[in-house]
Structure 1
Amino acid sequence: MFTTQQQPGQAVVEDPAERREAPVAEPPVERPRRPYGPRRILRDLGPQYAVNGLLGVVFSVSGPAAVTLAVGAAGGLSQAHTASWVFGMLLSAGLATLVMSVLYRQPLGFAWSIPGTVLVGPSLQHLSFAEVVGAFFGCGVLVLALGLTGVMRRVTAALPMPIVMAMVAAVFLRFGTDIVHSARTDLPVAGPMIAVFLLLTAVPALGRRMPPVLGAMLVGIAAVALSGRFALADGPTLAAPVFTAPEFTWAAQLELVVPLAITVLFVQNGQGQAVLTAAGHRPPINAYTVASGAFSLVNAAVGAVSACVTGPTNALLTASGERHRQYTAALVYAVLFLACALVAPAIVRAMLATPEAFILTLGGLAMLRSLLQAFLTAFSGPHALGALTAFIVTVSGLDLLNLHAAFWGIVIGWAVARLTTPRGATP
Structure 2
Amino acid sequence: MTVSPTSDDAHAGLARSSNLQPVLAGIIAAFVGFAGVFTVVLQGFIAVGATPAQAASGLLAICIVQGLLAIGMSWHYRIPLSIAWSTPGSVLFAATGMLDGGYAVAIGAFIGAGILIIAAGLIKPFGKLVSSIPPVLASAMLAGILLGLCLAPAKAVALEPDLAIPVVLVWALVGRIRRIWAVPAAVATAIAMIAWHAPAGGLAGAHFIPDITFVWPQFSATAMVSLAVPLFIVTMASQNLPGIAVMRLNGYEPPVGPVFVATGIGSIIAAPFGGHTINLAAITAALCAGPDAHPHPGRRWIASVSAGFTYLVLGLGATTAAALIAIAPPVLIQAATGLALFGAFGGALAGAVAHPADRDAAMVTFVTAASGLSFFGIGAAFWGLAAGGAFMLLNKRWSR
TM-score by length of 2: 0.86
Q: Match of 1:373?
A: 347
In structure 1, give the amino acid aligned to 2:288: L
Secondary structure of 1:111's match? strand
Distance 1:257 1:327 in 2: 32
- Structure 1 window deviating more from structure 2 (224-233 vs 136-145): it is 224-233
Q: Match of 2:124?
A: 150
Q: Match of 2:393?
A: 418
> Which of 343, 351, 360 is the equivalent residue of 1:385?
360
Looking at secondary structure, tell me which structure has more helix per residue. Answer: 2
2:183 is aligned with 1:213: yes
Q: Quick one: percent identity of the two aligned structures?
A: 27
User: What is the RMSD computed on CA atoms of the aligned residues?
Assistant: 2.6
> Which of 240, 247, 257 is the equivalent residue of 2:218?
247
2:151 is aligned with 1:181: no
Distance 1:220 1:122 in 2: 31
Q: Match of 2:375?
A: 400
The 5-angstrom pairing of residues 23-34 of structure 1 reads none
Distance 1:177 1:267 in 2: 21
Q: Match of 1:140?
A: 114
- Give a deviation string over 1:61-100, Cα, whole Å, max 9, x none: 2222111122234444211221121111111111110111
> Which of 166, 181, 195 is the equivalent residue of 1:192?
166
| Change beyond 3 A, Cα 1:320–1:414 | same
Structure 2: where are the runs of 5+ without partners? 1-13
2:203 is aligned with 1:232: yes
> Which of 71, 90, 98 is the equivalent residue of 1:117?
90
The 5-angstrom pairing of residues 273-312 of structure 1 reads 273-312=244-283
- Give a deviation string over 1:346-379, Cα, whole Å, max 9, x none: 3332343444344212110110111112222223
| Change beyond 3 A, Cα 1:222–1:235 | closer
Secondary structure of 1:61's match? helix
In structure 2, give the amino acid aligned to 1:341: G
Q: Match of 2:307?
A: 333
> Which of 47, 52, 57 is the equivalent residue of 1:84?
57
- Give a deviation string over 1:193-243, Cα, whole Å, max 9, x none: 222322344x3xx126x6221232333344445445683231343232222
The 5-angstrom pairing of residues 63-78 of structure 1 reads 63-78=36-51
Distance 2:109 2:386 in 1: 25
Secondary structure of 1:133's match? helix
Distance 1:220 1:401 in 2: 37
TM-score by length of 1: 0.81
In structure 1, give the amino acid aligned to 2:384: G
Query: Comparing both chains, which one has the higher relative contact order based on Cα–Cα distances under 8 Å and sequence gaps of 6 or more?
Result: 2
- Structure 1 window deviating more from structure 2 (290-299 vs 407-416): it is 407-416
Q: Match of 2:240?
A: 269
Q: Match of 1:166?
A: 140
Q: Tell me how far 1:307 sits from its aligned partner.
A: 0.2
Q: Match of 1:316?
A: 287
- In the alignment of these two chains, the number of paired residues is 380
Secondary structure of 2:349's match? helix
2:75 is aligned with 1:102: yes
2:16 is aligned with 1:46: no
CA contact (8 A) 1:105 1:327 kept: yes
Distance 1:44 1:300 in 2: 40
Distance 2:330 2:377 in 1: 29
Q: For the pair shown, which has the larger CA radius of gyration, 1 or 2?
A: 1
- Give a deviation string over 1:108-162, Cα, whole Å, max 9, x none: 1111010011012222244432222222111111111111232343112433222
| Change beyond 3 A, Cα 1:198–1:84 | same
| Change beyond 3 A, Cα 1:414–1:180 | same
- Structure 1 window deviating more from structure 2 (333-342 vs 214-223): it is 214-223
In structure 2, give the amino acid aligned to 1:220: A
